[in-house]
Structure 1
Amino acid sequence: MSDDETLKVYAEKAQEYADMVAAPDQPNSHLVAFVSALPHGGTVLDLGCGPGNSAGAMARAGLMVTATDPVPEMVALAAQHDGVDARVASFDDITGTDLYDGIWANFSLLHASRADMPRHLAALAQALKPGGQFHIGMKTGTGSKRDSIGRLYTYYTDAELTGLLGAVGLTVTDRTTGREKGLDGVEAPWICLAAHG
């Protein structure tokens, strides 16, 4: 993600965002399913980790977690979780082959431009071990726009996102849709897809 305005919003609101997503009443069912599909002690990338709540949960489950985010303020929060290797990195910094048993891209790639998405997904698919687990959460819709606090979003339909994953060799195995209120206070529709290499 190279959109400076989006990065600035997250830098300024890092603690507010961390407070908003802290300790939900119910465990994240997508995260539970993702973790249960991975080998104990497996390697995981949390892409766009934010304050690191998911990364921390994965580390507590016995996984080896690398958590990346382009916002240093978010990485500082993520690094406070035991067992999490938190690093400042953008989507463009993901390189390597057969590194991870799982990649968790939960509502992070929605800030990438549509033109860059195929390249980012190709790099992630290459970094995933054969048969590895992939999770992606996105807001659904069409086009791209900024929200009321300045973050740039790119929206996808289920069919479009499924096609993009298929194009890089990822097979979708499960999908969930819903609506939720975000940092901007607006309720928006979303989709989560589970896939494997």
Structure 2
Amino acid sequence: MIDSEDIRVTRAAYDEVAELYAKLFRRHLHANIFDRSMLDAFAEAVRENGNGPVADIGCGPGRVTSYLAAAGLEMSGVDLSPEMIRLAREEYPDIPFEVGPMEQLRYGDAALAGLVACYSIIHIPPHRVPAVLTELARVVRPGGHAVFGFQAADEPTGVRDYAHKVAPAYRWAPGTFAEALAAHGFRATATLSREARPDEYTPHAAVLAVRV
């Protein structure tokens, strides 16, 4: 199993804060119409494309996984943190969750109709992102959909370090992230950029994409 230093640091950090994280973000989606809109668009795209299994990669305690399951998608979740997965299984016992890195997924080739990666790519050092995107593309069938969420860079291009409260992280300019997707099996179809909410420190972005 892949187990680099950044993976070990991120896993340990989220294990430590899992209970607090789940409590703080339990109703985050309910208060954020913009983030919900991208998830709703993603869910509709998957349904219109014939539906099928969808994975939440970096699912944490399962709030996004559950939201999309309620929207009619056949969801499962994967996360590095055993504590996050424990909480997700307790809260949503009808959804399958498992521990694992996004660099080495247990799904078969083209097994998924779609995937979600909300605020999980941010913890991958930029030099390793191409391999991660290649692995994500491997498990999504051609024509399948994906949605990525992340804290956005202030600059129009590039990637920047980000002083994340839990683990080392990186902020991507939406256009730069779309370019990375295009080089590794996906094509961006829509981008949403929004300013920081009062309880946030950075702008945020989400990119919808299709597996080419």
TM over 0.5: yes
* Counterpart check, 1:62 vs 2:68: no
1:5 to 2, 6, 9: 9
What is the CA deviation profile of residues 51-89 of structure 1, one whole-angstrom value per residue up to 9, with x for unaligned ones?
Answer: 101111222233221200000111011113143110001
Aligned to 1:57, the other structure's residue is in SS state helix
Relative distance call for 1:150 and 1:67 in structure 2 (3 A) is closer
On the 8 A contact 1:140/1:157 being kept in 2, the answer is yes
2:121 to 84, 102, 109: 109
**1:26 to partner: Cα distance:** 5.1
1:33 to 35, 41, 50: 41
* Counterpart check, 1:168 vs 2:184: yes
**1:181 to partner: Cα distance:** 6.0
Once residues 46 and 166 of structure 2 are traced to their aligned partners in structure 1, the CA distance between those partners, rounded to angstroms, is: 36
* Counterpart check, 1:83 vs 2:123: no
Which residue number corresponds to residue 201 of structure 2? 187
What is the CA deviation profile of residues 137-175 of structure 1, one whole-angstrom value per residue up to 9, with x for unaligned ones?
Answer: 12222332443x451112222221111111123111111
The answer for unaligned runs of 5 or more in structure 1 is none
Relative distance call for 1:193 and 1:117 in structure 2 (3 A) is same
* Counterpart check, 1:93 vs 2:97: no
2:161 to 139, 144, 154: 144
Relative distance call for 1:25 and 1:161 in structure 2 (3 A) is closer
Once residues 123 and 5 of structure 1 are traced to their aligned partners in structure 2, the CA distance between those partners, rounded to angstroms, is: 21
* TM-score of the two chains, using structure 2 as the length reference: 0.83
Once residues 44 and 73 of structure 2 are traced to their aligned partners in structure 1, the CA distance between those partners, rounded to angstroms, is: 11
Structure with the higher fraction of residues in helix conformation = 2
Aligned-pair identity in percent equals 26
On the 8 A contact 1:56/1:83 being kept in 2, the answer is no
* TM-score of the two chains, using structure 1 as the length reference: 0.88
Aligned to 2:180, the other structure's residue is in SS state helix
On the 8 A contact 1:11/1:72 being kept in 2, the answer is yes
Relative distance call for 1:145 and 1:22 in structure 2 (3 A) is closer
